[in-house]
Amino acid sequence: MIRVLVGAAILASSVTVVGTATAQADPVDDFYVSPAQLVDDPGAVLRTQPMSLFAALPGADGGYPVQAQRVLYTSRTQDDAPVGVSGTFIETEVPWRGAGPRPTIVVAPGTVGQGDACAPSRAFPTSINAVTQPLSISFNQELLSSTLWGSMGANVFVTDYIGLGTPGLHTYVNRVEQAHAVLDGARAALELSGDAGAPVGIWGYSQGGGAAAAAAELASEYAPGLNVKGTWAGAPTADLLEVLKTVDGTLIGGVIGYALNGFVERDPSLLPLVEERLTDHGKAVLSDLSTQCIGDTILKYPFLRTESLTVDGKSMLENLSTIPEAGRILDEQRIGRSTPNAPVMITSGLNDDTVPYGQARQLAQDWCGQGASVEFRTNPLPPILQGAVLPNHFGPQLIDGYGGEAATFLMDRFADVPMAACTFD
How do the pLDDT tens digits run along the chain, 425 residues long?
333 333 333 223 322 222 223 333 443 478 999 998 898 899 999 999 998 876 544 444 444 667 899 999 999 999 999 999 999 999 998 999 999 999 999 999 999 999 988 999 988 776 666 655 556 667 778 888 998 999 899 999 999 999 999 999 999 999 999 999 999 999 999 999 999 999 999 999 999 999 999 999 999 999 999 999 999 999 999 999 999 999 999 999 999 999 999 999 999 999 999 999 999 999 999 999 999 999 999 999 999 999 999 999 999 999 999 999 999 999 999 999 999 999 999 999 999 999 999 999 999 999 999 999 999 999 998 888 776 667 888 888 888 988 789 999 999 999 999 998 999 99
CB environment 87-103: b (16+ within 10 A), e (fewer): bbbbbbebeeebeeebb
Q: Sketch out the chain's domains with CATH numbers.
A: 2-239+343-424 (3.40.50.1820), 245-331 (1.10.260.130)
Selection from 402, 416, 238, 237 nearest residue 343 by Cα: 416
Instruction: Give the sign of the dihedral formed by CA 27, CA 32, CA 37, CA 38.
Output: negative
Against a cut of 0.85, is the pTM above it?
Answer: yes
Distance CA 253, CA 393 (A): 14
- β-strand pairing of 344-349 with 227-234: parallel
- Angle between helical axes of 240-247 and 255-266 (0-180°, round to 10): 140
- β-strand pairing of 374-379 with 82-92: unpaired
Maximum C-alpha span of the chain: 63
